[in-house]
Structure formats: C-alpha cells, structure tokens
C-alpha cells in the first residue's frame, strides 16, 4: 500500500534564509526531497550544492517500504504480514510462516504439500556438490564450507548460472521463475548444511523424503532420526524447531537482509543474494556473535565464575556477546516464546553444563543495575542457541542452521522488490580527504600513431581512425548486423 502524505516539515536554511516544505509520509520523509535544499558553490562556480544526509551505520535511514514484517521496538511487538508472532507461534508451524512471508497468506494443505515436494526435489545433491564438501578437511570451519557448497549447487543450476549472461532481467516481473529459484536456493542451502554435518562427523548422508517438511528433511539428511524406530526425523527435535524457527523467520531490515537486497538491486539471482546475506550473517557483530558467546561460556566453565565475569564486563575488560539489540527498547517478544520451548525441554537444558553457565549469566544480568538501566537483555538468537545445544547440535553448526531459518525471510523481501522499479543501490559518501581545487578537466591527450585528428560533427568531437583501409560495408550497417546477432 503506497504511503500517504500526512503533513509537511518546514525547514529554513540559515545559510540562504530559504524556506522549504518537505512532505511527511506516515512519519517519514524521503531523502530525495532534501535535494531541493541547495546552496551556491562556495568556490564561486554556477554549480549548486545539494543537501546530503549522513547517517553512519544507518541508524535512522529507511531503505525500503515493505508489507512483510512489522517490528515495534518500543512496545515489544513483532507481526508477520499483520499476524502477531505469538498467534503464529501457538497455531502454526514454520512452513506456514514461510509461506505467509513469501506469498502473503497462510497456505492451504495442498499448497503446503506442493512447496514441500518442490523443496525435496531440489535437495538431492549432485556429485559435484558432494565432492566439493568432501574436499574440505573434516575439521574445517563451517562457514567457508557453506559458501562452497551453495556455490557448487548454483554452478549446476542453468537458470541461476545464465542470469549473468542475459541482458534481460531473469526474475524481475517473472514471479514463476523467481519462485522456483527461491525454492531451489533454500533447498540447496539446507542440503549443504546436511552434507557438511555428515562429512565432519563421518555420517552417511540420507536423501530427503519427497513428502517431508523442510525441517524434517534437514534432520533426516543430517542423520538426526527417530531414536526408537530409526525411521524418519527425530520427532522431538522437529517439533521444537518448527516453533523455534518461527521466532527467527524474519526480523525486518537486518544487516544480512539489507546485504541481500543490496546484491539484489543489481538484478543478481537469489542464490547470489543469499550468499551476500550469509557473508553478513557470519560476521562477529551479527550471527557470528553466537560463536563468540559460546566461546566465552566455554572459558567461564562454571556458574560460580559468572559474578567475576560480569564484573569484568562492567569494567570493560570483557565483552558480553549476545546481549543487547539496537531496535528494542523493551523486552524482545520472542524471548518469552523461546523460554516456553526451553521449559518444555528443561531436563535436556539442565543437563548441559554450558547452559548452566549461560542461565547464570542471564539471571545476574536481569538483576544487575548496570544491565537493567541500559536495557541489555539476552538476544533471542543467543537464547535459542541454548535449545540447539540441548537438542544435541554441536556448536560449529548452530549459526549455520539459524541462518537457514532466516534465509526464506530475506528472500521474501527480495521477492517483494521484483515488481518495483529497478534501481541499483548506490549510497552516497561525504568526502573528508585532501583535495586540489585547480584541476585541468579538459581531458586532452596526445595522439598515438593510429589516431586521426579531432573533427566536430553536430557539435560533438569525434576522432577518426587512420586505418589506411576503406570499408566496403558502411560502419552503420555493420553495427546493425552486429546488434541483431548479439541481442535478437
């Protein structure tokens, strides 16, 4: 729904005393409207200087209009397409929410099964993909393996591979092709994770169930099967993740989603966009903070050492990764949902010594004035990691699996752009370095031996080549024939 003008911002430029009325749309202004505010060039030229907005770190700049996810950080609310996250958590599973984010409505059972089968069909890895993962030493870091596996899948996908070699947009306003590529991209990444997990632990990879859910097939391929029957995915783990992933399904314009959309603005394919999100997501100030938090928990070792660690954090001698969030000024609404899942798996959580340290930190942080006054709460991603540990996932796979739960949300935002005007993202900068004022901009260069003199045609300077040969076919005709052969 397009935004409506709800008021005007009156600005008086003290440099020129000029007044401007900038339209306000639903409590935002368009940065482009500020370009109307100009001042003469201080150097005395006739070039006017347009006003630019500087916002390091994008703390108060919106780059998109979206109908997907609403986050109210002041009230502690999250809604997916108008549905409160608490309602979806209680009444739906992850596949329902994925469909809602991607296609704008909750699916019928037939629609759900159709998407399941498409996921499963794309989850069977080729020999190239298997060999790519197998080429890594088993003790390799998970992150580069994720990138390599996804790239190996994409290299064999004709639609994705050919996207760079066509002058016509492959996906823009072509939702049938885009949707198919989105499903394949998600399936590729899920299969890559399973292959990595199996390779690192010398497990046998199991092909997906053609009718299994995305989460169910991830567990099946990873070898996390029903302990009693040995058939199908572990039902306890699946039931937990079907709810936990709802909390992670989308979080509006995160750093990784913005990175995904930045790549998408170049008309890149969804696989390449997902890789851009992965690169952001594994950074130590984003999803990678989870790995650092786990490393810190391992160093603390026992709950009795937590008070001393907290004092080190307060004196800035240590850092508490996984706490605090730029958006929320009150409690993240996802925390209570994750706590509900933790309570359902309390016995498994309590049995993990690392989690006892984490819960001790959380208890102290919720009581200490230093953290309370700064509203520093456990990040929902960190809290959810406790569940992964309790369910038997090793720490080297947790961030990668969380990323899988988030990629569909990011690609839903990419899909939302496909019927919008094409506009490549190209932010501005404020130059603060040295500069030379008197620069020769004539662009004159000496002629080389094969260059003729400059001639003027229709007011444009043109250089003619002295080839010494006459062309039998006029150059204009050659150009037309060439264009037809390349672009028809």
* DSSP of 74-115: TTTEEEETTEEHHHHHHH--HHHHHHHHHHSSPPPHHHHHHH
Rounded CA gap, 283 and 292, in Å? Answer: 10
Bridge partners for 457 per DSSP: 460
Give the DSSP letter of residue 284.
T
- Residue among 65, 94, 93, 69 nearest 79 (CA): 69
End-to-end CA distance of the chain: 37
The first and second tokens of residue 251, run together, are 């979080």
Token representation of residue 482: 């060439």
**CB under 8 Å to 150, separation ≥6 — which residues?**
188, 189, 192, 271, 274, 275, 278
Q: Provide the token pair at 7.
A: 């008021």
C-alpha pair distances (Å), 416 with each of 168, 172, 265, 412: 19, 10, 12, 6
3-state secondary structure 195-237: HHHHHHHCCCCCCCCCCCCHHHHHHHHHCCECCCCCCCECHHH
CA 379 to chain centre: 18
Q: Name the active-site residue from 325, 350, 413, 437.
A: 325
Among residues 157, 251, 381, 413, the one annotated as catalytic is 381
Q: Is 381 a catalytic residue?
A: yes
Residue numbers annotated as active site: 325, 381
């Amino acid at each position: 729904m397009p935004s409506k003008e709800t008021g005007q911002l009156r600005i008086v430029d003290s440099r020129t005393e000029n007044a401007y009325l900038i339209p306000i749309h639903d409590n935002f202004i368009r940065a482009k409207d500020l370009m109307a505010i100009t001042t003469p060039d201080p150097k005395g030229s006739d070039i006017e200087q347009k006003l630019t907005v500087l916002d390091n770190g994008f703390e108060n700049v919106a780059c998109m209009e979206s109908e997907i996810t609403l986050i109210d950080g002041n009230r502690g609310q999250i809604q997916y397409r108008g549905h409160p996250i608490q309602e979806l958590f209680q009444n739906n599973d992850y596949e329902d929410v994925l469909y809602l984010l991607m296609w704008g409505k909750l699916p019928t059972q037939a629609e759900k099964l159709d998407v399941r089968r498409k996921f499963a069909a794309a989850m069977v890895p080729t020999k190239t993909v298997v060999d790519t993962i197998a080429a890594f030493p088993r003790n390799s870091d998970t992150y580069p393996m994720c990138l390599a596996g996804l790239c190996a899948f994409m290299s064999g996908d004709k639609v994705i591979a050919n996207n760079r070699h066509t002058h016509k947009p492959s996906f823009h306003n072509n939702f049938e092709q885009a949707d198919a590529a989105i499903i394949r991209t998600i399936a590729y990444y899920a299969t890559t994770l399973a292959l990595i997990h199996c390779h690192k632990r010398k497990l046998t990879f199991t092909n997906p169930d053609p009718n299994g859910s995305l989460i169910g097939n991830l567990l099946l391929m990873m070898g996390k099967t029903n302990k009693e029957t040995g058939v199908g995915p572990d039902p306890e783990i699946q039931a937990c993740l079907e709810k936990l992933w709802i909390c992670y399904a989308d979080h509006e314009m995160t750093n990784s989603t913005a990175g995904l959309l930045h790549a998408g603005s170049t008309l890149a394919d969804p696989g390449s966009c997902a890789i851009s999100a992965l690169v952001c997501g594994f950074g130590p100030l984003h999803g990678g903070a989870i790995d650092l938090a786990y490393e810190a928990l391992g160093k603390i070792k026992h709950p009795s050492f937590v008070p001393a660690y907290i004092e080190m954090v307060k004196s800035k001698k240590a850092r508490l990764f996984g706490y605090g969030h730029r958006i929320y000024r009150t409690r993240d609404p996802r925390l209570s949902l994750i706590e509900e899942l933790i309570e359902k798996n309390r016995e498994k959580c309590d049995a993990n010594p690392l989690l006892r340290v984490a819960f001790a930190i959380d208890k102290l942080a919720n009581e200490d004035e230093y953290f309370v006054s700064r509203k520093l709460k456990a990040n929902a991603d960190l809290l959810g990691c406790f569940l992964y540990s309790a369910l038997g996932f090793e720490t080297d796979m947790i961030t990668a699996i969380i990323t899988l739960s988030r990629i569909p949300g990011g690609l839903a935002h990419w899909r939302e752009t496909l019927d919008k005007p094409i506009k490549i993202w190209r932010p501005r900068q404020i130059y603060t370095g040295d500069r030379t004022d008197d620069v020769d901009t004539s662009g004159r260069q000496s002629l080389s031996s094969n260059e003729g003199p400059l001639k003027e045609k229709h007011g444009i300077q043109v250089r003619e080549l002295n080839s010494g040969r006459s062309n039998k076919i006029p150059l204009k005709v050659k150009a037309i024939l060439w264009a037809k052969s390349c672009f028809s």
